[in-house]
């Protein structure tokens, strides 16, 4: 597993846990760092901060392109993986869109339901196809 793949997994852990605790993922990340349990890869922090700082736009895009699904109805893992994927597709220039989609699918393949990879692929693929209209 590459360093960035591990960073994405750790970022997902932080986003998911903070959502379950109804706290800011940035606060959760900072607490983990203070307690010596923080991520060793800076990209984890980039992802957590990026998703948090752009959460309104990310969720707006997800609401628009997750046809037939509300954010609240999605499994929490899928919702947070999609947030990571949308952040990388829209806001991270050095990650190709295909890599962002592939990495998101790998996360849900390992951590979510059997239907999650096709769902995540469909939503992110739809967003990638319409990316120029979103910028």
* Structural domains in the chain plus CATH codes: 3-134 (1.10.940.10)
- Distance between CA 68 and CA 11 in Å, rounded? 27
Q: Running DSSP on this structure, what letter comes out for residue 119?
A: H
Distance CA(15)–CA(52), nearest Å, equals 9
pTM of the model: 0.95
Write the DSSP symbol of residue 40.
S
- pLDDT tens track for 16-73: 999 999 999 999 999 888 888 877 789 999 999 999 999 999 999 999 999 889 999 9
Angle between helix axes 3-20 and 25-34 (nearest 10 degrees) is 110
Nearest to 90 by CA among 42, 121, 130: 130
């Amino acid at each position: 597993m590459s360093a960035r793949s591990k960073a994405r997994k750790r970022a997902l852990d932080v986003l998911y846990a903070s959502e379950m605790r109804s706290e800011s993922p940035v606060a959760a990340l900072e607490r983990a760092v203070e307690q010596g349990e923080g991520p060793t890869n800076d990209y984890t922090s980039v992802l957590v901060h990026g998703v948090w700082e752009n959460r309104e736009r990310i969720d707006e895009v997800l609401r628009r392109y997750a046809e037939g699904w509300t954010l609240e109805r999605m499994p929490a893992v899928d919702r947070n993986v999609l947030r990571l994927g949308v952040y990388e597709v829209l806001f991270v220039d050095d990650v190709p869109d295909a890599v962002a989609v592939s990495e998101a699918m790998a996360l849900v393949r390992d951590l979510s339901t059997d239907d999650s990879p096709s769902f995540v692929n469909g939503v992110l693929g739809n967003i990638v196809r319409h990316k120029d209209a979103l910028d």
